[in-house]
Structure 1
Amino acid sequence: MSTSSMRDSSRSVVSSTATLPGRGYRTLWRWHFYAGLFVMPFLVILAITGTVYCFQPQIEPLLYPHRLIVTPQSTPRLTEDALLAKARAALPPGSTAVAARIATAPDRSAEFVFRVPHGGKESVYLNPYDGTVLGTLSVERRFMQVDRMIHRKLLLGKPGELLMELVACWTLVMIATGIALWWPRAGATLRGALLPRLSLPGRARWKSLHAALGIWLAVGAVAFVLTGLPWTGSWGKQLKSLATSVNLGSPPGAWGGSTLHSTRPGATAMPATQHASSDMDSMPGMTMDDLPLSNVPWATGAVPVPHSPDAPAAAKDAEPVAAGTAWPLARVVESLRALGLTGGYDIALPTSPDGVFAVSYFPSDPQQERTLYLDQYSGAVLKDIRYRDYGAVSKAVSYGTSLHMGRYFGLANQIVCTVLSLGLATMAVTGFAMWWMRRPSRVQRTQGVLAAPARERAAPPMRGWQAGLVLLGIVFPLMGATLVVVWLADRLVFGRTPDPIAS
């Protein structure tokens, strides 16, 4: 053999050994496999539903043009009370108005939400210029509401909500292990790791595409997960409670503090324990998240709807419309306009003697968020919660939510969210394609073989990764429980038969 041939052979050996997986590589790959196996189908669902919901402002007018869109007219709009009366007349007797959505655009219809006798909620749409009833829609079966509930809880209620929380947490494991697997080893170039090599054959091409796409999406995917977790039913509520307890969440006294309610002028206030009502939309003890409002800022979602044995001093000093009567809705809207709200907000209407007007303003700019409560008899502002009143955690979550929903910087934000969402769905597809190419035989599947990557011959300590998983399990207790389950299953179930896949 010539000297040049020996040199080329030596370089080939060095190049091949330089890129061999190091210690711990297969362990990380195995955890990446388990995380992906669980997350993949849900990532596709999250990507599709999230992208659809992101474009809600553009999609809904296309779905319901005859209900949502009207022709602007030069004639004055009817008052909110006149429109509400016409909406009430269009529904069966016994229907109760529970919310009004105050729009700003001259080409948008007026919308009122009613609780109807059969137990559901119906939105009634009217032409604000002549009062013509344009139609109704079920609040629960409205397309975007169904899409939103699939995205948040798979239409499975609380179990679905917990499942999606687990998906988000396991996505963090998948991303972290994926980055570690991608990280260029000795002999590899950064450019080669960042760009997919589509000329490779078969599974190698899918692997290159999967790795390169994953690293480009990693930062955005982590941001997606972290901005969505505060809205989960278990961990999100605990975060809100913890942040508030250390003055980093809701405004002091707003969450779990003293509360207020409207008192009919001349009436004797009942003790708080005696405030009873069959109305499930305004009964004492409810929070903002319980009210029939389309959107509520995260910081005020757990704020109790005001009610108290005594009317506040502000309400006593204000001039009521008439003894024992509530303010007209039109006057409430006029009062809110004077307070700086011109439209684009929801009002939960009082439906019990001690109810209040609860107002939620949830714009694209988090710094403009507001939550107000008005006494229903005097119109006095019982509480006005603004962004400046939030703690540091709530302020950060507000910005994260606006970015997560594609609202903060308009169409560009929607496009970024779409690229990230569909990119994650593509990751799921490419991951499945790689598994399919090395899937176990039918006999092996009956033996509990999943085609997971082979184990390390001598398991390395990997103390840093172990500490990271323990920390993740502490921060996300539900995730911690499943980590233990997966570890036990890997040892006791899938560890009984040898893994057929070595690379």
Structure 2
Amino acid sequence: MKKNEKLNKWLWKWHFIAGLISLPFILILSITGAIYLFKGDYEKNKQKHIKEITIQDTKVSFQKQWEIANANAIKKPNSMVVSTSKNQATEFVSGRFGNKSSLFVNPYSGKVSGEIITKDTNMFKVRKLHGELLTGKFGTKIIELIASWMVVLILTGLYVWWPTRGWKIKGLFIPRIKEGKRTFFRDLHAISGFWFSGLLILILAGGLPWTDAFGESFKQIQKITNTGYPDTWQGHHLKSQIAGDALTLDQMVAKAENLQLPGVVTIDFPKDQKGVFSVYNTNPSNLNTQKKIHFDAYTGKQILSNNWDDVGVLMRGRMWVMAFHQGEFGVWNWWLMLCTTITLTIMSISALLSYTMRKRKGNWGTPKVPTSFTVGYGIIIVLVILTLVFPLFGVSLLFIIGIEYLLNKNKPRKI
């Protein structure tokens, strides 16, 4: 591929600027992302004394356990997780996401074995550092901005790296070792960046739905195009027909178990006297198996059932990339995410080392662009598209261009 040398220098300049700004945050994202991948194993050992109990001969009814949970939980539970083994304490859940808390009841003794408040856990703090730098909404916007610039880093990096004189083993597939440290670290950064570029784009796509500007825009598009969850998924408009006594939780657990849904099965409780019981499963390793079924709280009759096919295409795509981002598709996905976080860390450090070896004292080392270079319509179109997709990128780009304009304007002209 023949490259435009002036364009190459211009893109190299923006790759340099984006990297210099993003580098510290990319290191935080890669390290915290790697730590969070161990959430399951870490919490399994740390919370074992709460979640696991000794098997006994007699059991307390689920209805009684529900009453115990109502009396002891910080906030009244709105759902219960169906246990999959006899040595598991029954989990009653209140709230969602960061406001979630789980109270565990020993099904044999009826005693509360403990309560886990999500926001107080160590892994929740790691997640908050990863997603918002522990600074709330402001931090979320910073992370979104960095993620946007990472897309620019990948696109500009691909063009700058792409060979013009044919493909060679050294410098394109393996780093050159005998040409000095700076060349070695430069190759290490560029080669790993190229071969992981597609994967990094996919991982960024899995993280962006959690952001503010991009995430909210995506939700609005889902709403307008009706490609999110169907209105019936949550069952807000469904009502039970009051007739005699309501079903016991034991009867609902039996119905949920008979469905034989894979993954983690949860029963949502009726919100009021006319509310319904809802049974659904969470199974990130195979999203197509997920269902949500609503039952009349008095007759136990199935009112409505939603399969994963009923969910809109944008929501299904969003949930897929988010599950991939968290390494939830199995061992292969977990190892792939771990290798990616390690590679991203190596890429960042090698770029920094290469830069420090190249940088001259008293100079930022920003690549020089010929004054005769003008941005073509193709680049402008790409920038407009990126601005529309990533609004915070557009704002930051205008800010940087404004600063550069003012600096150049105040420079003394050479006579």
Q: TM class by shorter-chain length?
A: 0.7 to 0.9
| 1:33 corresponding residue in structure 2 | 16
Q: 1:497 to 1:84 in 2, by over 3 A?
A: farther
2:409 pairs with 1:488? no
The superposition leaves residues 65-113 of structure 1 with CA deviations (integer Å, 9 ceiling, x where unpaired) of: 2112334x37465432232333445457xx5223322232444332223
Aligned match of 1:306: 236
Paired positions, count: 407
Match of 2:313 in 1: 392
8 Å contact from structure 2 (residues 262, 289) kept in 1:
no
- Secondary structure (helix, strand or coil) at the match of 1:346 reads strand
User: 1:365 matched to which residue of 2?
Assistant: 286
C-alpha RMSD over aligned residues: 3.2
Question: In structure 2, what is the Cα distance between the partners aligned to 1:393 and 1:82?
Answer: 41
Corresponding residue for 1:101?
81
Structure ID, larger Rg: 1
Displacement of 1:168 in angstroms is 1.7
- TM-score normalised by L of structure 1: 0.71
Deviation, structure 1 residue 372: 4.1
C-alpha distance in 2, partners of 1:130/1:163? 49
Map 1:102-141; keep pairs closer than 5 Å: 102-114=82-94, 122-141=101-120
Letter in 1 for 2:12: W
Q: Conserved in 2, the CA contact under 8 Å of 1:348 and 1:359?
A: yes
CA contact (8 A) 1:193 1:212 kept: yes
Look up the SS of the partner of 1:483 in the other structure.
helix
In 2, distance between residues paired with 1:370 and 1:186? 54
Q: Does the residue aligned with 1:194 lie in a helix, a strand or coil? A: coil
* C-alpha deviation, 1:175, in angstroms: 0.4
Give the match for residue 472 of structure 1.
386
SS across alignment from 1:111:
strand
Per-residue CA distance 1:469-498 (angstroms, 9 max, x = gap): 111112222322222222222332478669
Cα distance 1:377–1:475, how it changes in 2: closer, same or farther (>3 A)? same
Q: Where does structure 2 lack aligned partners over 5 or more consecutive residues?
A: none
Of the three residues 307, 310, 322, the one matched with 1:401 is 322
Task: Find the aligned partners of 1:337 and 1:175 in 2 and give their Cα distance.
Answer: 47
1:377 CA displacement: 5.2
State which of 224, 243, 249 in structure 2 corresponds to 1:245.
224
Aligned residue type for 2:334: Q
Is 1:164 matched up with 2:143? yes
Cα distance change of structure 1 residues 424 and 342 upon mapping to structure 2, 3 Å threshold? closer
What is the one-letter code of the residue matched to 1:83? Answer: Q
CA distance in 1, matches of 2:51, 2:374: 62
User: Contact 2:6–2:369 at 8 Å: present in 1 too?
Assistant: no
Q: Is the 8 A contact 1:403 1:413 kept in 2?
A: yes
Paired amino acid for 2:15: H
Q: Which residue of 2 aligns with 1:265?
A: none
**Structure 1 residue 41: Cα displacement:** 2.0
Q: How does 1:4-403 map to 2 (within 5 A)?
A: 22-71=5-54, 73=55, 75=57, 77-90=59-72, 95-114=75-94, 122-186=101-165, 189=168, 191-251=170-230, 253-254=231-232, 306-307=236-237, 311=239, 315-316=240-241, 320-322=243-245, 327-341=247-261, 344-350=264-270, 352=272, 356-363=276-283, 364-376=285-297, 379=300, 381-403=302-324
1:453 aligns with 2:374: no
| Residue of structure 1 in register with 2:351 after alignment | 431
Whole-Å Cα distance in 2 between the matches of residues 495 and 54 of structure 1? 49
**Higher-helix-fraction structure:** 2
How has the CA–CA distance of structure 1 residues 191 and 21 changed in structure 2, closer, same or farther, with 3 Å as cutoff? farther
What is the CA-CA distance between 1:221 and the residue it aligns to? Answer: 0.4
Secondary structure of residue in 1 paired with 2:171: helix
Q: What TM-score does the superposition give when structure 2 sets the normalisation length?
A: 0.85
User: CA–CA distance in 1 between the matches of 2:124 and 2:83?
Assistant: 19
Cα gap change, 1:121 to 1:402, in 2 (>3 Å): closer
Question: Identity percentage over the alignment?
Answer: 28
Q: Which range is displaced more, 40-49 or 327-336?
A: 327-336
| Equivalent residue letter for 1:406 | G
The answer to whether the 8 A contact 1:306-1:373 is kept is no
